[in-house]
């Protein structure tokens, strides 16, 4: 991409607070953005070939609310990304991430996190420190089990479709705000699905198609009627 074209994008972003440069074959995060650290609110560099984020630059976007780097080649995130205290939406679908920085819980304003199609082998415990998190998409990763710490997750919607999950902690029923739980196409036996999800949780949409049991067997479980009451009440609310 020519320098003059990039310069034009930077000039526009200076006025709008939005820098969007998708499908351009970029192999690195544009260093020209260091001029805009104090006025960018949105950065979208999706569908490029970016392999890493510059640690010294990425944490300086003090007003940044939305960062999208879907469909790139990121293998690791620098700790400095956790300095983005105003960040509300982080979208990193279809990269090669295996884990999140240990300080990820410092992204205190984060509401929506999309990490579909990465290489995560576990539910990142750092997510449980994020008090304003509403939606988490961890679909299409390599997660095998859901640990006890999940009970501290504040999310309203958790998407774990297309992982390799065969075990779920009963603590998932304790999530204070969890309404939507997606577990389609995993490796769950019916005996491994905590019945308290049905009888004793806030969850009103449970999606479990494509596991190692027939859906009609789920309907026979104790607590299914309580789940259906929540499901129907929610449906009425949005009808």
Domains of the chain: 1-84+95-108 (3.80.10.10), 120-238 (3.80.10.10)
% of the chain surpassing 90 pLDDT: 94
Q: Residue 5: what pLDDT?
A: 80
Is-above-0.75 flag for pTM?
A: yes
Compute the distance between CA of residue 218 and CA of residue 119 in angstroms, rounded to an integer.
Answer: 30
Contact yes or no for 123/142 (Cβ under 8 A): no
Cα gap 132→134, rounded to integer Å: 6
Half-sphere CA count of 82, side-chain side, radius 13 A: 15
Around Cβ 202, how many Cβ atoms within 10 Å?
Answer: 16
What is the per-residue pLDDT for 2?
60
Whether residue 198 contacts residue 189, with contact meaning beta carbons closer than 8 Å, is answered with no
Cα–Cα distances in angstroms (integers) from residue 39 to residues 33, 89, 91, in the given order: 10, 17, 20
Please give the structure tokens belonging to residue 103: 């300080």
Helix (H, G, I), strand (E, B) or coil at 37: coil
Please name which of 122, 121, 101 lies closest in space to residue 110, comparing C-alpha atoms: 101
Residue position matching structure tokens 């820098």: 19
Q: What parts of the chain have a pLDDT lower than 70?
A: 1-2, 239
Please tell me what DSSP assigns to residue 177: S
């Amino acid at each position: 991409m020519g320098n003059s074209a990039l310069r034009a994008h930077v000039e526009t972003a200076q006025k709008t607070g939005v820098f969007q440069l998708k499908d351009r074959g970029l192999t690195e995060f544009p260093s020209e953005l260091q001029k805009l650290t104090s006025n960018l609110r949105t950065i979208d560099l999706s569908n490029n070939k970016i392999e890493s984020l510059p640690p010294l630059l990425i944490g300086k976007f003090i007003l940044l609310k939305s960062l999208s780097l879907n469909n790139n080649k990121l293998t690791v995130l620098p700790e400095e990304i956790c300095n983005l205290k105003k960040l509300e939406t982080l979208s990193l679908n279809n990269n090669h991430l295996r884990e999140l920085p240990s300080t990820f819980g410092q992204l205190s304003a984060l509401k929506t996190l999309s990490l579909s199609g990465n290489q995560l082998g576990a539910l990142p415990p750092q997510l449980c420190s994020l008090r304003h998190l509403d939606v988490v998409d961890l679909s299409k990763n390599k997660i095998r089990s859901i640990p006890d710490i999940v009970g501290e997750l504040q999310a309203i919607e958790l998407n774990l479709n297309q992982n390799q999950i065969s075990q779920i902690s009963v603590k998932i029923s304790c999530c204070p705000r969890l309404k939507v739980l997606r577990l389609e196409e995993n490796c769950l036996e019916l005996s491994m699905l905590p019945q308290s999800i049905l009888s004793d949780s806030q969850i009103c949409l449970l999606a479990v198609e494509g596991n190692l049991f027939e859906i009609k067997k789920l309907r026979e479980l104790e607590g299914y009627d309580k789940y259906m009451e929540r499901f129907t009440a929610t449906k009425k609310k949005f009808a």
